[in-house]
Structure 1
Amino acid sequence: MPATPRGATLRRRIRSLGGKVIRRLGLLPGGMPDGLGEDQELLGTSWPYEVLVYFADTPEALYQIEQWYDTFRALHAEHPVVVVTQDSRTARAIRRDSGLDVRTVAHYTTLDDILGRSPTKLALYVNHNPENFTCLRFGQLVHASLMHGDSDKLVTVSNQTKAYDFSFVAGQAAVERMARFSTLYDAHARCVPVGRPQLDDQLRLRARTPRGPLPTVLYAPTWEGGQPSAEYGSVATHGLAVVRALVESGRYRVLYRPHPLTGVRVAAYGEADKAIREYLAAAPAPAEGPAHGTDTHGDVAPAFAAADLLVCDVSGVAMDWLATGEPIVVTRPVGDVVIASSPLLELAPALPVAALGDVLATVDRELTQDPTRDRRLTLREHYLGDTAPGASTQRFVAACERLMEIRDREVARIEAYGAPSAAPTGNERGTR
């Protein structure tokens, strides 16, 4: 028997009420924003922000935006910044830890309403969340992808990059990578090298941190990736063997810094991570200096400041470490993961599984002889540009200002033609 209009309305209300209760009780599936927005308070208002940072993720992905807080605060000092989320839990954490203005917007129509009467010109994104398209639809903004790291992983040349007007990248190496491995994409026109502003404070902290009596080796692997083709992580294949060899030598202090998402897709990574943590917790402390340990701080700067050599995977950590000028050893994944040719991977000593027995000798050689130092310092500029403290932040702010100028010119150009009558906005059902 067909449902009556009254019955269908009642069921919709029940589902809506049930959804609200589920969201407020925090019973949503992992990765789903709670959608508890400030929409009713925001509708019909405007805001003073020139820059919008769109972050649609749930709290487990906060590490992607946390590294940008200092940079966003520097930008906010010149041009007002607001962070827009779809999740009230995420909003609370960002507001607490960053001091930035944050708004939770659950519905596209709310954002459309506010932006129509506000001076917002630039939208920034720190990941490729599919929900970014909620904001990418606004043609009166210039959209720039920042991402949350630069690396020689092939995922850094994702086809999703084409959705944005521009991509902020660390240095010339990233432009060349995009030009070489992306199809139908003008990397030289759309990539904007700004360095890595996150490194400004890291380098200052490193300069103030005294060296320990024993060299510290930082083991900072990546996670298993979102799919097997991106499984660059070494925790399950290399981790415990690397850590044990260095600890048992008695010549090094070992600091382990796992990726926050380690083990979320592959259980073996979580088990290996647990084994490494437990081993280091039980290992006797070095004869001198700090104990071995696991670092899980949100900020990588203290770990970088304490370390004399990095063992890592093909990841963004390798790029950032270049700024220190110190030695690096890069693992090689097992399986069918594609490793693209790059200047850093060709230069840095490789550590495949077959060479785990030589890890101690490799670390000894790199710390005592450092045979690739001069070439590595040359690569530092190629990958990161000017690494003088403060230089990257200045370049970032200047790049944002240039994009806002481009936006003003483009909006003026379109307005000169006059608005088309009854032009579709793209949010009507059935439009193409």
Structure 2
Amino acid sequence: MPARGNALKRRIRSSGGKLLRRFGLLPGGMPDGIGDDAALADAALDGDVMVYFPDTQDSLYQLRTWYGPLRELHRAQGVTIVCMDSRTAAALRAEVDLPVVTIALDATLDAIILRSATKLVLYVNYNPLNTAALRSRSAIHVSLLHGDSDKVVSVSNQIKAYDYSFVAGQAAIDRLERYTTLFDAPARCIPVGRPSLDTDRIEATVRADDRLTVLYAPTWEGGQASAAYSSLCTHGLAAVRSLLAAGLDVIYRPHPLTGVRVPEYGDTDRQLGELVESSGGRVSTGRPLQHDFTDADLILCDVSAMMGDWLPTAKPLLITQSADPQSRDAATALLSMSPRLTVAEATSAGNLARDLIEHDLLREERIEMIEYYLGDITPGASLARFLEACARLSTRRDELWARIQDQQRPSADDSV
């Protein structure tokens, strides 16, 4: 009787889960698992490369940073994006002209990778659900992530799950060498620069006026205390009021995940947006990052990938100091040498920003760091390194997999 009762409970939970998935009522961050599995029973994925993205739409910004490079890679080798969430897949189909499928079952995923002879699997984050694809032995697994920064996530032990990691430059390798144990960063990391900066380039534009402008681009609240870098609730309103009082224009670029985890951040985001817009500034959402970089004379940001991406502008930056005593970073030279804004100094951000713009004493030092962080930034160079690295690893995969298959074939002695 108890066994029969447990079986009934499992069926009820299963039926309830299906209904929740079907009507889109699952908690945020949980994929709905509505897959194309039946239609893919005998199908093969297009191309040599699979991008595995099991996340919900909240995290889609992580993949968006790679749209441009992935389009170019699709032309060279063929790319298919595999999702676990049907809502995310629908959004992707509307945004990017790449093949997209949704796979809910591990068995479907295992079989289709083998049937497709997929050479590379790419990942843009460390989602624990990535393990579904990581089980495959027939492909090389590459971590791309969605930015290169001094956040502790950049030196997470999770990097060891991947065969290789594509990083921006030598700074990332040195960071991993310093902060990660039992990981051979020089052997496992391949510097490719920031290919999205190549594909998202814009032509230089003429500013409408000569008013000095500050780009305020805080990060999100973070998933744990050690990665709580956001200045939004601690510095944001005071700093922006100070910038405006100093006669500076403000572009406010909120992080896409702002307020998803902690409602207070969403409330502050709304207040800050209203303040900026009421002062004639711009709240930048869905706008190419390079446009904001072009329009700004200085960036005020947290410890995040914004620091390195901003470097090629050669313009000054001001980095906030987290107010959370539990936060930790994986500091490199840029973070160590850059001016930091504490909570106590937020009310003086305007005068400090104006002084940094008008007397940029660290400009030459930052320019010298560009190659260290990003490699060659000649237009097209980073994209070329990315495509070459993918092609090289695809060839290596073929060689390794052929050797494994040869070893698994029965020998003449086995048939005796």
Give the shorter-chain TM-score range. Answer: over 0.9
State yes or no: 1:300 paired with 2:289: yes
2:217 to 208, 217, 220: 220
State yes or no: 1:377 paired with 2:373: no
Residue 406 of structure 2 is matched in structure 1 by 416
Q: CA deviation at 1:410?
A: 1.1
Residue 428 of structure 1 is matched in structure 2 by none
Residue 48 of structure 2 is matched in structure 1 by 50
Q: CA deviation at 1:228?
A: 1.1
Q: CA deviation at 1:277?
A: 1.2
Residue 367 of structure 1 is matched in structure 2 by 357
1:108 partner letter? D
Q: CA deviation at 1:3?
A: 5.1
Residue 266 of structure 1 is matched in structure 2 by 262
State yes or no: 1:247 paired with 2:244: yes
SS of the residue corresponding to residue 82 of structure 1 reads strand
Counterparts in 2 of 1:8 and 1:369: CA distance versus 1, 3 Å: closer
Q: List alignment gaps of at least 5 residues for structure 2.
A: 412-416
Counterparts in 2 of 1:182 and 1:211: CA distance versus 1, 3 Å: farther
Q: CA deviation at 1:268?
A: 3.1
In structure 1, distance between residues paired with 2:330 and 2:34: 42
In structure 1, distance between residues paired with 2:400 and 2:114: 16
Counterparts in 2 of 1:411 and 1:241: CA distance versus 1, 3 Å: same
In structure 2, distance between residues paired with 1:213 and 1:267: 37
In structure 1, distance between residues paired with 2:409 and 2:158: 30
CA contact 2:24–2:32 (8 Å) conserved in 1 = yes
State yes or no: 1:133 paired with 2:144: no
In structure 1, distance between residues paired with 2:409 and 2:287: 47
| Percentage of pairs with the same residue | 50
Residue 158 of structure 1 is matched in structure 2 by 156
Deviations 1:376-410 (A, max 9, x none): 00111110111122211111011111111111121
Q: CA deviation at 1:219?
A: 0.3
**Cα RMSD for the two superposed structures:** 1.9
Deviations 1:336-370 (A, max 9, x none): 21244321012211111222243223212221121
CA contact 1:173–1:383 (8 Å) conserved in 2 = yes
SS of the residue corresponding to residue 140 of structure 1 reads coil
SS of the residue corresponding to residue 403 of structure 1 reads helix
State yes or no: 1:354 paired with 2:338: no
TM-score where L is the length of structure 2: 0.94
Mean Cα displacement is larger for which, 382-391 or 156-165? Answer: 382-391
In structure 1, distance between residues paired with 2:316 and 2:23: 49
Counterparts in 2 of 1:175 and 1:345: CA distance versus 1, 3 Å: same
Deviations 1:299-330 (A, max 9, x none): 32322222111000110111111121111111
Deviations 1:157-178 (A, max 9, x none): 0000000000000000000001
* Count of residue pairs brought into register by the alignment: 410
SS of the residue corresponding to residue 397 of structure 1 reads helix
1:124 to 122, 127, 131: 122
Residue 168 of structure 2 is matched in structure 1 by 170
State yes or no: 1:73 paired with 2:71: yes
CA contact 2:29–2:55 (8 Å) conserved in 1 = yes
Counterparts in 2 of 1:420 and 1:214: CA distance versus 1, 3 Å: farther
Q: CA deviation at 1:15?
A: 4.3
CA contact 1:206–1:305 (8 Å) conserved in 2 = no
Deviations 1:49-86 (A, max 9, x none): 20000000001110010111111000000001000000
In structure 2, distance between residues paired with 1:37 and 1:331: 43
SS of the residue corresponding to residue 26 of structure 1 reads coil
Counterparts in 2 of 1:410 and 1:201: CA distance versus 1, 3 Å: closer
Counterparts in 2 of 1:327 and 1:409: CA distance versus 1, 3 Å: same
CA contact 1:63–1:298 (8 Å) conserved in 2 = no
2:147 to 143, 146, 149: 149
In structure 2, distance between residues paired with 1:356 and 1:10: 59
Residue 108 of structure 2 is matched in structure 1 by 110
Mean Cα displacement is larger for which, 77-86 or 400-409? Answer: 400-409
Q: Residues 10-29 of structure 1 correspond to what in structure 2 (within 5 A)?
A: 14-29=12-27
CA contact 2:321–2:342 (8 Å) conserved in 1 = yes
Q: List alignment gaps of at least 5 residues for structure 1.
A: 284-290, 422-432
CA contact 2:170–2:372 (8 Å) conserved in 1 = yes
